[in-house]
Amino acid sequence: MERTLSIIKPDGVAKNVIGDVIRRFETKGIKIAAMKMLQLTKTQAQGFYAVHKERPFFNSLTDFMTSGPIVVMVLEGEDVIAENRELMGATNFKDAKEGTIRKDYATDIEKNVVHGSDAPETAAFEIKYFFNDLEIQKR
Ligand code: ATP
Ligand code: MG
């Protein structure tokens, strides 16, 4: 069993697709082990995306991520890191495959609706960034 962090970004919440994104996870048999809605401060967004701090889009990305509420979830399942990335589609929606979340809803390389951890190490860091142990359901 593996865990990953999923975020429905401010554009996804604004587009009213929270339910559709969650439905895609549940249809695949992925379990939601934790979930909450919150709005990040600039400092919190910078901490979350610290790996990207040298990238030219860092300031714009962290502004975008603070621009409205987000939904943060811990997803659980076999191979869920890769499976979630598959459901999300490519970072740039123009390269995303048919039927992926980003193909269906993203409008911009930055405003791409969802985030998903890309490896076990980043998943562990990202889950701890948002949830303490008591907030994650054990089964
Ligand atoms: P995420 O980490 O959000 O799941 P990702 O792993 O597909 O997405 P990263 O390369 O980690 O993509 O980039 C993190 C986020 O930064 C992207 O999801 C996107 O919102 C933004 N981003 C990435 N590349 C660019 C770019 N060239 N211009 C603007 N924003 C970008
Ligand atoms: Mg990433």
Q: pLDDT by residue (tens digit) across 78-128?
A: 999 999 999 999 999 999 999 999 999 999 999 999 999 999 999 999 999
Q: Which atom of ligand 1 is nearest to the CA of 51?
A: 11
Instruction: Please list every protein residue whose CB sits less than 6 Å from any atom of ligand 1.
Output: 52, 57, 61, 91, 109-110, 112, 115-116, 118
pTM for this prediction? 0.96
Rounded CA gap, 42 and 48, in Å?
A: 10
- Output the CA 19–ligand 2 centroid distance in Å: 22
Which of 115, 116, 126, 127 is flagged as catalytic? 115
CA dist 113 and 6 (Å) reads: 11
Maximum separation of any 2 CA atoms in the chain, in Å: 41
- Joined together, the tokens standing for residue 80 give 């869920």
The per-residue pLDDT for 65 is 98
Does the annotation count 115 as an active-site position? yes
3-state class (DSSP) for residue 71: strand
Exposed/middle/buried for residue 43 (C-beta within 10 Å: 0-12, 13-18, 19+):
exposed
Name the residue with the closest Cα to ligand 1, atom 4: 115
CA distances in angstroms from 70 to 14, 62, 95, 135, listed in the order given: 9, 13, 24, 17
Best mutation site among 5, 49, 61, 108 for ligand 1 pocket (most ligand atoms within 8 Å of CB): 61
Count CB-CB contacts under 10 A for residue 83: 19
Average pLDDT across the chain, whole number: 97
Distance, CA of 50 to CA of 54 (rounded, Å)? 9
Q: What are the pLDDT digits (tens) for 62-85?
A: 999 999 999 999 999 999 999 999
Alpha-carbon distances, residue 1 vs 30, 34, 49, 105, 134 (angstroms):
11, 15, 26, 29, 18
